[in-house]
Amino acid sequence: MSCDISRGKNVIECKNGISGLKAIYLANYDDYGYVTESNASGHTLSDLSGLTEVFKYELKNSGNVFSQEGTSSRDNGTTFFTQNLTFILTKLTKEMEFQVKMMAWGRPQIFVESNAGDIFLMGIEHGCEVSTVSAIGGTMDSLNGYTMTAVGMEREPIFYLTSGAVTALKALVSPDNI
């Protein structure tokens, strides 16, 4: 059967990993024809195909969290994955207000870079719905920025970029920054 489990894990790994998110790269939604593979060797994206530009947002604070939940129904014979990203962009500006609006109006595909150096894609088929809260806090050390949430609902979980795809992604970063 094609949905049989093919590997186990019987080693508890060393505690030398790190967590946290470093940056996100937003691509305007389209069917880029990404080349993906899903087998016992991994769930990977190896070719960005028609993608020509991404916009990088560095994340230098706490409060950035990614989670993914798989939901299956034996009664319906369905499985889907809900991908959730909460991220904080600091400093409210008139230019950033426009970009935040465009994120909410669109449905970007979001590449997420972890502090460990992995990059994965959320919203590969349907894009992500983005909502936002703008805030200037009541004290001098409060948040001056945006707390944003992106949600993707997909039939597949996130795809990790291969090293070649990571290099290609970083070459597509737009020089147009705020």
pLDDT on residue 1? 52
Provide the β-strand partners of residue 57: 24
Pairing outcome for strands 159-161 and 55-58: unpaired
Contact 133, 97 (CB under 8 A): no
Average pLDDT of the chain to the nearest whole number: 92
What's the gap between Cα 74 and its chain centre? 28
Q: Can you list the domains of the chain with their CATH numbers?
A: 21-171 (2.30.110)
Whether residue 11 is predicted with pLDDT greater than 80 in this model: the reply is: no
pLDDT on residue 142? 87
Q: How confident is the model at residue 62 (pLDDT cuts 50, 70, 90)?
A: confident
pLDDT digits (tens, 9 = 90+) for 122-148: 999 999 999 988 888 889 888 899 999
> Mean pLDDT over residues 28-34, rounded?
95
pTM of the model: 0.91
